[in-house]
Amino acid sequence: MDATASSSVISFDDFMKVDVRVGTIVGAEPFPEARKPAIKLRIDFGGAIGMRKSSAQITQNHRIEDLVGRQVLAVVNFPPRQIGPFMSEVLTLGVPDADGNVMLIGPDRAVPDGGRLY
């Protein structure tokens, strides 16, 4: 498939502006106030970034009790976004499963928190 078929072409410099980091989920709780089913996450990115909050629509494939300790990738340099009564500070990344539901993405093995995607 041609890369331009689904999106516009960007430069490498454009890609480098998106700061994607790895962090460990240290807290997860239901988010019943969200319009679509979601989970509130607290993610530790270590070092200079520290702890950040995220709202993630991951309830179809992820159980709250399985999330703590899992490493995930997130965009850490978007501005915070108000989601109902919750301020989401990072965009936790995922890919769609066969039904279009979010599957979180992260490293196969433990890596230091705060590492940047390249």
| pLDDT at residue number 7 | 78
Percentage, residues of the chain above pLDDT 90: 89
pLDDT tens digit string along 5-22?
A: 667 999 999 999 999 999
Question: Is residue 4 over pLDDT 50?
Answer: no
Strand pairing class (81-83; 20-30): unpaired
| pLDDT at residue number 110 | 97
97, two tokens:
């499963």
CA 44 to CA 51: how far, in whole Å? 4
pTM above 0.85, yes or no: yes
| pLDDT at residue number 5 | 60
Domain 13-104 has CATH 1.10.8.60: no
pLDDT tens digit string along 40-94?
A: 999 999 999 999 999 999 999 999 999 999 999 999 999 999 999 999 999 999 9
CA torsion through residues 104, 96, 74, 60, sign = negative
Domain ranges, ordered by start, for the chain: 13-104
C-alpha dist (Å) from residue 20 to 1, 41, 90: 25, 17, 10
